[in-house]
Amino acid sequence: MFCIPSFLRRPLVLAAVTLPALISVRGDEPPVVGGVEAVGYTSIDAPTGAYNQPGWVQRRPFSTTRVHIQRNPGEVSIEQWVRAREDDGEWKFRFQEEIEFGLPGRIQLDFYYDWTVEDSKAEHLDFAGEIRWAPADWGVIPLNPAFYLEYKVTDPSRGGDVIEPKLLLGEDFGNGWHWGLNGVYERELQGEKAEEIAITQAISKTISESLSLGIEMAWKRETVDGARNDPEHKFIIGPQLQWRPTKNMHIDLAALAGCTTDSPDFEGWLIVGYDFGGPEKKTGNMPVSGRR
């Protein structure tokens, strides 16, 4: 009798529950204008950004994976993040307040403040800044790469400062399907000099103008100084959704289950973002012939 390994049971159950729902809800077919299929059959799929990026990219589609450039030049946005982790019955929460600025030249600059709640005690964690840059507009280079660099000024009682470069990839698969993947390297500069190598990935499907559903996953290899050959391997996976109650607001939810001994039993994300706008964005659809 075939037996599924225990570490695969959670992700397989989650996928079995989530994927049929994604595939069965097809949404409306792309409109035909003058006999030519349009690129975006909803505004979230249309290339309305200053860098030709579609609406879903501009509304932070995933909790664990970033894609290209969100903010247009002159645009400002704020986000409130909440991350909940549960392991062996112990809950830990991290809160993050973030402000984002769109700059010319396919550049985005973000600043944020992190604090935690553990054992009913709130504590400061870090201040951080990040910059991301894309070498080309959306649709020019395959997989639409962007480069990301973050620096965290950590409270001395919580560890050393952290530097984190990332490679961001993302793509449209057509008919409302969206995908992103990040390659991540994180290094603590003092203390234990913790090191993390990670790959995060996500895929979602546009259901309507206000709703997308998908799956997110993350794999991490973590070590500390003096024990580089004794890593912890973590893998989490689970369903996610994004609800867009207004054109300026998005709410993301993700519920990820741990699949290895070192992983948390549960990791959940809540992100609420509001876009204050900036220069007027492009509107309308583009013909299929205009795609790369």
Q: Which residues contact 74 (CB under 8 A, 6 or more apart)?
A: 102, 278, 279
- Residue 65: inside a domain, yes or no? yes
Pairwise pLDDT comparison (142 vs 37), residue with the higher score: 142
Specify the pLDDT at position 4: 45
**First-residue to last-residue Cα distance in the chain:** 48
| C-alpha closest to that of 135 among 212, 69, 66, 54 | 69
Domain that holds residue 55: 6-290
Mean pLDDT of the chain: 86
Domain count, the chain: 1
Residue 12 sits at φ, ψ, to 5 deg, of -70, -40
- Residue 47: inside a domain, yes or no? yes
Specify the pLDDT at position 41: 58
CA 93 to mean position of chain CA atoms: 18
Quick: pLDDT tens for 184-199. Answer: 999 999 989 999 999 9
On the question of pLDDT at 30 being above 80, the answer is no
Q: Which residues contact 244 (CB under 8 A, 6 or more apart)?
A: 44, 59, 209, 210, 211, 250, 251
Q: What is the average pLDDT across 135-147?
A: 98
- Residue 87: inside a domain, yes or no? yes
Tally the residues of the chain. Answer: 292
Determine contact, residues 16/238, Cβ cutoff 8 Å.
no
CA distance 106 to 91: 39
Q: What is the average pLDDT across 27-34?
A: 43
CATH number at residue 229: 2.40.160.40
CA distance 178 to 42: 13
CA distance 241 to 113: 25
- Residue 89: inside a domain, yes or no? yes
Quick: pLDDT tens for 147-171. Answer: 999 999 999 999 999 999 999 999 9
Specify the pLDDT at position 23: 42
- Residue 38: inside a domain, yes or no? yes
- Residue 208: inside a domain, yes or no? yes
Q: Which residues contact 20 (CB under 8 A, 6 or more apart)?
A: none
Specify the pLDDT at position 9: 55
- Residue 1: inside a domain, yes or no? no
Q: What percent of the chain has pLDDT over 90?
A: 76
pTM comes to 0.82
Specify the pLDDT at position 80: 98
On the question of pLDDT at 292 being above 50, the answer is no
- Residue 50: inside a domain, yes or no? yes
On the question of pLDDT at 211 being above 60, the answer is yes
Specify the pLDDT at position 277: 74
